[in-house]
Amino acid sequence: MALIFLISSLLLIVSTVAVERVILPDGDRAYLIEMLTTTYNEISTDRAQEIVYELENFYTGIRYNIGADCGPPKEIDKAFHLHIINTRSYAAFSEATFGYFLHHSPFWSAHPPSSDLRERCSNQASKFRHHGIPIVYECLWTPPACATDRTDFENSNPLWSVFDKANVLLNDLRSKKHILSSQLDKMMPKWEKVQLAYLYFIPKPHKAGTPLRPILSSMNMPTTRISKFLDELIPPIFDKLARSTRIIHGVDSIHRLEAYAANGYLKQKTYLCTFDITDLYTMLPQEKSLDILIPSTERRVRRRVSSRSSFVCSFVRMFVRPIEKQIYKLT
């Protein structure tokens, strides 16, 4: 029994060891991105960055024995044979990371049969996510699913797209020490619990024709924990600063109108106007909202506010994107 307990304890310790992503040296990373874009005309700078990011994921899988069921396909494979990856500092990097010189050939030249390639690659991506390693270029791990030229809607899984964007954003903020570890834990999505948002409708019986009110439930989306964290911080500040101009509910609006009249502002020529926001996404542009908010914040706190905070802008763009200038979609 003691032996079994000892083995179980060791397994538990091993299973809880934190996985730290393998990161290429800055010089090698910049060199690879430049060479990929110049060697392959069809690879943009953004796509090259994604490819190098997944290469680091693959190195991470090898280092921590997560598995190497599927290596990133053609771009990395060709890059190796063209001697793009084998940079001058690669030997030192490989020795420091793995303890030996890691040859690429056995991994990228011996792909599994096409019949089970998709399943094995999908399993590899799942293993990475299980260890907190986000995926930014899904097609590298599911090549058969992305082989044909299809639209982004068909090529990507919206759930994992948002999950990985949130994961990358939060890990980047933590690595730059913009947030604490405790804050990271509160906002990091749990891959085993996330779900796509779903749409349902509630009838409006008080209106002619009983139209339906669309409701989007996103309680288990990957960004929900970020929203909850911000909701604990922002409302108290907003309530304090905007109480004099904010109407909470119908009764409050009546009290405000009474005070308005008592102060002599309500006259015969006074016009009271109301407006209805039918869609928060299309009627309230996010960029314009930030442009309005930032100068107001600067006047109040008397110090410069970054107009393009990576966290704010990334979080705003994570939810919506324009399609034909009218329709917005959760991404």
pLDDT in tens, 42-99: 778 888 888 788 788 878 877 887 765 565 556 665 665 555 565 557 777 777 887 7
Query: Comparing 142-151, 163-172, 189-198, 276-285, which segment has the lowest mean pLDDT?
Result: 142-151
Query: Comparing 108-112, 142-146, 202-206, which segment has the lowest mean pLDDT?
Result: 108-112
Strands 198-203 and 212-217: antiparallel
pLDDT > 60? residue 311: no
Contact (CB, 8 A) for 70 and 124: yes
pLDDT > 60? residue 216: yes
User: What's the rounded mean pLDDT across residues 231-259?
Assistant: 84
pLDDT for position 170: 86
pLDDT > 50? residue 307: no
Strands 212-217 and 327-328: unpaired
- Enclosing H/E stretch for 177: none
Structure tokens of 203? 């009838």
Q: Which residues contact 53 (CB under 8 A, 6 or more apart)?
A: 136, 137
pLDDT for position 262: 92
Mean pLDDT of the chain: 70
Contact (CB, 8 A) for 21 and 57: yes
Contact (CB, 8 A) for 128 and 135: yes
User: What's the rounded mean pLDDT across residues 112-122?
Assistant: 53
Strand partners, 327: 323
E-assigned strand segments in 41-188: none
Band (214; pLDDT cuts 50, 70, 90)? confident
Question: Three-state DSSP class for 71?
Answer: coil
Tell me which of 225 and 304 has the higher pLDDT: 225
Q: What is the pLDDT of residues 141-161, one digit of tens each?
A: 655 555 544 444 444 567 777
Separation CA 330–CA 35 (nearest Å): 34
Structure tokens of 167? 């994961």
Look at residues 189, 181, 197 and name the one whose alpha carbon lies nearest to residue 165: 189
pLDDT > 50? residue 110: no
CB-count burial class (<10 Å; 0-12, 13-18, 19+) for 222: buried
pLDDT for position 225: 92
Phi–psi pair at 302, nearest 5 degrees? 60, 40
pLDDT > 70? residue 265: yes
Tell me which of 91 and 210 has the higher pLDDT: 210
What pTM value is reported for the model? 0.45
Look at residues 166, 155, 170 and name the one whose alpha carbon lies nearest to residue 194: 166
Q: Over pLDDT 90: what percentage of the chain?
A: 2
